[in-house]
Amino acid sequence: MSESSNISGKVTVITGASSGIGHGTALHLAEQGAKVVLGARREDRLKETTEAITQAGGSATWKVTDVTDRDSVQGLVDHARETYGPVDVLINNAGVGYVGTIDKIHVDIWDLMIDVNIKGPLYGIAAVLPEMMARKQGHILTTTSIAANAVLTNMAVYSGTKFAVKAICEGLRQEAGPHNIRVTQVLPGLVMTEIGADSDPEAQEELMKEFEDLQLLEPIDIARAFAFAINQPNHVNVNEVVVRPTGELM
């Protein structure tokens, strides 16, 4: 196991850790010596990831977590504290996306995106911020999206949730910085994950035609961005990291 000076030993809670970016980030940070605490809804995936980390000599634990439920998120943070001690790093990674036009009126999907993409990070912040403020240390990172910088075709509501999270994170940075708490947003471009898999087929096809010759990012590419931000000295706050495939223009 390799170790990085400002990652090793840190108690690191990751939501959405059962697949995609969260899964890749858990593996990568554990390799760097972090004590990772995995939260997601799929118990079998959490167990598999935890076993892979521990068998490789890392430290990991898990708890089934629904980020749309504040008590569930608090329970994940409590589990981290009881297992390893106070949380040093929170990665708000759980997210859902949908490709489709507003006129389809998928209100249930809109509600889900608002609950997961906006309320989820807020519940994570609520669970860790008081103790971080008291300790005068901590790092809160959030997976947003390039959709937080520009409204993507057929993804207006998704983009809206990411614009909201970007504003929340920037406000948190301004408020928490004087208390020695770092705040980072990682904004990925197109990544090979499960997000958007249940989208409107026609809209999904239209979007992907624009990128059919593009080599998409892998979860490890985003995991490295998280590690880069965490591993900086405590007086260095990497506020935003935008990571796109080399040929992606949007």
Per-residue confidence (pLDDT) for residue 21, from 0 to 100: 95
Question: DSSP letters of 88-154?
Answer: -EEEE---------GGG--HHHHHHHIIIIIIHHHHHHHHHHHHHHHHT-EEEEEE--GGGTSPPTT
CA 5 from centroid of its chain's CA atoms:
22
Per-residue confidence (pLDDT) for residue 247, from 0 to 100: 77
Residue 66 maps to a domain:
yes
- The mean predicted confidence, pLDDT, of the chain is 92
Taking only the tens place, the pLDDT of each residue in 45-81 is: 999 999 999 999 999 999 999 999 999 999 999 999 9
96 in the Ramachandran plot: left (φ > 0), alpha (ψ -120 to 50) or beta? beta
Per-residue confidence (pLDDT) for residue 100, from 0 to 100: 87
Percent of all residues in the chain with a pLDDT value above 70, rounded to a whole number: 89
Residue 19 near residue 194 (C-beta atoms within 8 A): yes
Residue 138 maps to a domain:
yes
Q: Domain count for the chain, please give it.
A: 1
Per-residue confidence (pLDDT) for residue 111, from 0 to 100: 97
Residues with catalytic annotation? 158
Per-residue confidence (pLDDT) for residue 161, from 0 to 100: 97
Residue 95 maps to a domain:
yes
- Could you tell me the pTM of the whole model? 0.92
Using 50, 70 and 90 to split pLDDT, how confident is the model at 2? Answer: very low
Can you tell me which residue has the tokens 């809109």? Answer: 110
Residue 39 maps to a domain:
yes
Domain extent for 176: 11-243
Per-residue confidence (pLDDT) for residue 195, from 0 to 100: 46
pLDDT of residue 158 exceeding 80, the answer is yes
Residue 72 near residue 48 (C-beta atoms within 8 A): no
Question: For the chain, what is the radius of gyration of the CA atoms?
Answer: 17
Residue 197 near residue 95 (C-beta atoms within 8 A): no
Taking only the tens place, the pLDDT of each residue in 187-217 is: 999 887 544 455 556 655 665 565 566 788 9
Q: Is the dihedral of CA 9, 22, 42, 15 positive or negative?
A: positive
Residue 67 maps to a domain:
yes
- Which CATH number characterizes residue 90's domain? 3.40.50.720
**Residues in CB range of 23: below 8 A, 6 or more apart:** 17, 45, 49, 219
Residue 91 near residue 13 (C-beta atoms within 8 A): yes
Taking only the tens place, the pLDDT of each residue in 78-132 is: 999 999 999 999 999 999 998 888 999 899 999 999 999 999 999 999 999 999 9
Residue 75 maps to a domain:
yes
And the tokens for 81? 């504290």
Residue 167 maps to a domain:
yes
pLDDT of residue 182 exceeding 70, the answer is yes
DSSP 3-state assignment of 32? Answer: coil
Residue 1 maps to a domain:
no
DSSP 3-state assignment of 202? Answer: helix
Helix (H) or strand (E) holding 236: none
Average pLDDT for 135-158: 95
